[in-house]
Structure 1
């Protein structure tokens, strides 16, 4: 399957597929003409990558355990690597949420004091 069809099948753009290849997340085969060729395993991998990115992981996060994305079963050491990356990302998200909550409360308080209005 060519890049446009693979991208459409995975719900992505051809540019995203090229980017994932540049980042080492994807290694499609090549036709004798040099065109990328995607198979069923590539489509499964693309869907997993998309799900992980949609869940809040970064490309760098996924790259750190890309070698286990295709496995049917994950060894304990691989599971630990995925877990460590996920826990680190959750901690970073929690910190960002806390900073944004504090910033929101500060802004609401200042607006309320200035304009005598309460913001929930």
Structure 2
């Protein structure tokens, strides 16, 4: 199938397929004599796995470092990351640590902003962004 058909089947765009190929997540597609890329169902399945992993919060760089192992998830998508210790657990642990650090940073920033505004920590107006009624 050509790039537009493959992209539609995977729920993405031709531009995304080109990006995945450029980043080494997808093998370079064979070309027709006219120079058009041709994809097969295995490529579409791999793109679906890539998109699922990105939706979980992994980055293209995270996946690039494990691109050679993506076929394991294509073969067993239900098995996901934790069924094969060491396959993706390291990159998942790194991503979780990065998310935890960002949550801590934002929590601290929020507390500092609330303190600067003179609002107590438990003030509902601080949490929702709504102002308290004057009175």
TM-score over 0.5 (shorter chain): yes
**Cα deviation 1:63-93 (Å, max 9, x = unaligned):** 111112123369xxx7404111110110011
In structure 1, distance between residues paired with 2:87 and 2:71:
15
The answer to whether residue 104 in structure 2 is matched with residue 98 in structure 1 is: yes
Classify the secondary structure of the residue corresponding to 1:34: coil
TM-score, with length taken from structure 1: 0.85
Q: Which runs of 5+ in 1 are unaligned?
A: none
User: Looking at CA atoms only, which structure, 1 or 2, has the larger radius of gyration?
Assistant: 2
Alignment match of 1:119 (pick from 117, 126, 129)? 126
Q: Which structure shows the bigger proportion of residues in helix conformation?
A: 1
**Cα deviation 1:83-114 (Å, max 9, x = unaligned):** 1111011001100010011101111221235x
Does the 8 Å CA contact 1:112/1:119 hold for their aligned counterparts? no
* Displacement after TM superposition at 1:10 (Å): 1.2
Classify the secondary structure of the residue corresponding to 1:112: coil
* Displacement after TM superposition at 1:44 (Å): 0.4
Classify the secondary structure of the residue corresponding to 2:118: helix
In structure 2, distance between residues paired with 1:97 and 1:30:
45
* Displacement after TM superposition at 1:119 (Å): 1.1
Question: Where has structure 1 moved over 2 Å in runs of 4 or more?
Answer: 71-74
The answer to whether residue 6 in structure 2 is matched with residue 25 in structure 1 is: no
Q: Which runs of 5+ in 2 are unaligned?
A: 128-135
In structure 2, distance between residues paired with 1:20 and 1:7:
11
Q: What is the aligned-residue RMSD (CA, Å)?
A: 1.9
Question: How many pairs are equivalent?
Answer: 114
TM-score, with length taken from structure 2: 0.76
